[in-house]
Structure 1
Amino acid sequence: MIRVLLADDEAMIRAGVRAILSADPAIEVVAEAGDGREAVERSLAHRPDVVLLDIRMPRLDGLAAAAELRRVLPETSVVMLTTFGEDEYIARALSDGASGFLLKSGDPHELIAGVHAVAQGAAYLSPKVAHRVITELGGGRMSHGSAARRRTDTLTPREREVLALVGAGLSNAEIARRLHVVEGTVKAYVSAILTRLEVRNRVQAAIIAYEAGLISQT
């Protein structure tokens, strides 16, 4: 069972998201919060697997709450759920350690898929957000291809292969099946990759994979 905490300052939005998630028998909404500070406090109390955070909330906004959650509950995955898709929100959410970024205007199936993906240790970006990130990586402010290639050059060939699959959005279990190894081996590779690249989570590692041109190798 995937335990989820939902944080949004609009009760109707919370009710709608809860209804969508409740349609999946593998997901349980264990708590709700109406602002970012409450989200952090209730997450500490309930220890959910996934926290869904709106960005614009009172007391503590979702981005600040995400950063706080990554500090106090590093084992909990954080997904930003918002109507706002501006680049600065995406960039800050990813740099603060969020595992996913979903738009409220997206398909409800994306919400369920995103929760499952991050709960399994993968990263998840809604298609619209992923397109924007990839476009920026191709020539915008997020594009640092040479630097990314220098960083990935420090990895072993096997680690680069695993990084490419992380960048493609595969979970540890999916990577294990693809490479015909046990999941524990993949976890060890991913941990080593994050350490050597000096990044906080799989989303940031995935960005480096895109920047370094590794995704086409999958």
Structure 2
Amino acid sequence: MEGVFPSRAVFKVAARHEPRREWVDLKGLIALIAAPDGPNLIERFAYRDLGGIMKQKKIETHKIGLVGQAPSRRGDPRKPLAGPNGQKIARLAGMSYDELIACRRKHLNTHHSGKRSKGDAFDRANGCVNAGDILLDWRVERIVLLGKNVAHCFGFRDVPFLAEIHIYGRRFLIFPHPSGINRWWNERRNERRARQLLQRFLRGETVSAWVPKERPLTPC
């Protein structure tokens, strides 16, 4: 469980700051650990109550880009990631919705392309063109690619989720598509790991650089 919960050092620093305060209630802590969103709540508690002694590194939104697949059927093409998927990404990233929309955002398909048997249809040829435009136009350091279709358009095929790739002078994070129909999210441990790695990546920390055995890029 190391890395999921705040370290003991966090509570020791807090205790020195406010020695009269009861920082660790073991029964309450055990109950919190068992809660469905326990790890996230504990992390919020630790950083909130340290009174500024320990703070997470601020996310520099002007250095971040988010690339989605396409707007939803009722989504506004002019506002990428403005719906439930964007709200989910903001929650996982530990940022406010205002911070999310301050990042560079784009869908590779600018309009909803309809349905297919396993989800929404996707125009890969159009997606590859827009991926090229992003590489030419965006001046950002870190780009989150939401889903395998998006990753493929940037030349990343058969790359595992949550892998980080350094190429084109940028850093990319291959992130699972946030849609509720994506079964990857059914495992609670998957969501916990995705949240941790996404937040680290957005703060500029190294996640886990992926080193391919063969060529990392596959043309569209």
Shorter-normalised TM range: 0.3 to 0.5
Q: What's the TM-score once normalised by structure 2's chain length?
A: 0.35
Relative to its length, the structure with more helix (as a share) is 1
Higher relative contact order (CA 8 A, sep 6+): 2
**Bigger-Rg structure (1/2):** 2
